[in-house]
Chain A
Amino acid sequence: ELKVEQNPLFLSMQEGKNYTIYCNYSTTSDRLYWYRQDPGKSLESLFVLLSNGAVKQEGRLMASLDTKARLSTLHITAAVHDLSATYFCAVRGDTPLVFGKGTRLSVIA
């Protein structure tokens, strides 16, 4: 059974700082997805990572995938308040997506 673990689950960071969210998964997969969810809203697709070594960047967010380590990272550079949200990673195995519990990020001044 595919299991997906994110850490940390809660993250409070100052504006301008850098930080990384980690996503580990338990079985072989080369398809990993990152989503963002604002309070009371739906999930917005951020990145799709489809191969080992894949790296994608959008603004202050950069995601990478290491399929051998079964690890993806979401790196935040010079955080700003607008990045405050919950971030989910999801992995596709033999079944449709299995989601992590999410990382609730708060960016404070």
Chain B
Amino acid sequence: ETGVTQTPRHLVMGMTNKKSLKCEQHLGHNAMYWYKQSAKKPLELMFVYSLEERVENNSVPSRFSPECPNSSHLFLHLHTLQPEDSALYLCASSQERPPHEQFFGPGTRLTVL
């Protein structure tokens, strides 16, 4: 039990679908992150939220839309995705003070048909 949960664990969607990924952390952290992990690239940071405000968006396409309603919950809304978006999406959380150690959720394996 890492203290960070993600749902669903697996998701298959068509390119015209709209779906959302959910992340919840039970560690009392105040920063949350979305990462993309695919076979072709190293772990890529997508979004960072600190104290519920988005502080970094690493040039992610607009078909990915994050939402952070409070410090414990993080969503990633997906629409009109492409097959190359198929990947493992990992959520992480940390404190916004040293040591900034990030704890990861189990991930959502996304397949876009």
Contacts and interface: CB of A to CB of B under 8 A. Distances in A.
A95 B106 contact: no
Instruction: Give the size range of B's interface with the partner.
Output: 20 to 34
Interface string B81-110: 000000000101000001111111111010
B45 interface: yes
A87 interface: no
A48 interface: yes
Interface in B42-86: 42-43, 45, 48, 56
Interface of A is mostly: loop
Interface of B is mostly: strand
Contact of B104 (A43, A95, A101): A43
A102 B103 CA distance: 17
A41 B107 CA distance: 8
Contacts of A40: 109
A45 interface: yes
Given A43-B90, A48-B101, A88 B43 contact: yes
A98 B44 CA distance: 8
A31 interface: yes
B103 A96 contact: no
B104 A97 contact: no
Given A95-B56, A97-B45, A101-B42, A31 B99 contact: yes
16 contacts: A31-B99, A31-B100, A35-B104, A40-B109, A42-B90, A42-B105, A42-B106, A43-B104, A50-B99, A92-B100, A95-B56, A97-B102, A99-B42, A100-B42, A101-B42, A102-B43
